[in-house]
Copies of this chain bind each other. A is one copy, B any other.
């Protein structure tokens, strides 16, 4: 039996709590970060609060092993005097949507191999995927995730806008979006690149530019140039 205390009742904290609650060999509790005086003694304390609050919250915790769940905060930002670590699930969480941690990557970091094993065991219990990632790498993963998630979603939003302007149902793009995201599981995205930009199909590019408004046009040109720049690496 391993006991876990989660500090922070936001998306990540709540979803982790629910997931650990279902695991037989784990005893889990969750508390609001403003009620640290009620924190139970636990084998592992998981701080799941806003990045800015991690240092302060951790400085008030005396439990033996304390980790945070942030993509961009270094392990050493933790101010507890006991063991430190990182337990960062790389996924986008929504309040409303159930999270299945099966297959979800966890970026783990710890000060010694015994603590690391502890974190590994917990990932296994959740069915997640273990990655050993140091604080420098984790920062970069966080940026890469901005491209792969936030910026990608913005491409969907721009596509949605173009559809809406011309009474086209956005769902017509769903299968294409699904295929695009599937493809990179088996193919390097550099090699998977298709479309007028990589072909330098100027006729199609000019046709498209004529039909876009100023801000769409600016984005189209920028992305087209970037795709062509990347294409030279092939």
CB distance from A114 to the nearest CB of B (A): 24
* Pairwise interchain contact B72-A150, C-beta atoms closer than 8 A: no
Q: How many residues of A contact B (CB 8 A)?
A: 86
Q: CA A174 – CA B92 in complex, angstroms?
A: 12
Interface residues of A in 135-178 (CB under 8 A from B): 136-137, 139-163, 165-178
User: How many copies of this protein are present in the complex?
Assistant: 2
The verdict on A140 contacting B211 (CB below 8 Å), with A150-B195, A230-B157 known, is yes
Tell me the complex Cα distance, A131–B166, Å. Answer: 14
Contacts of A194 in B (CB 8 A): 92, 149-150, 153
Q: A155 is contacted by which of B90, B155, B160, B165 (Cβ under 8 Å)?
A: B155
Within 8 Å by CB of A175, from B91, B174, B188, lies: B91
Q: Can you give 17 contacting A-B residue pairs, CB < 8 Å?
A: A91-B179, A105-B175, A131-B172, A137-B167, A140-B163, A140-B168, A143-B211, A144-B160, A147-B158, A149-B177, A153-B192, A153-B194, A158-B226, A160-B184, A170-B184, A171-B185, A219-B222
Complex interface: chain B residues within 8 A of A133 (CB): 168
Closest to A165 in B: B140
Question: In residues 182-223 of chain A, which contact B (Cβ within 8 Å)?
Answer: 183-185, 188-190, 192-198, 203-204, 207-208, 211-212, 215, 218-220, 222-223
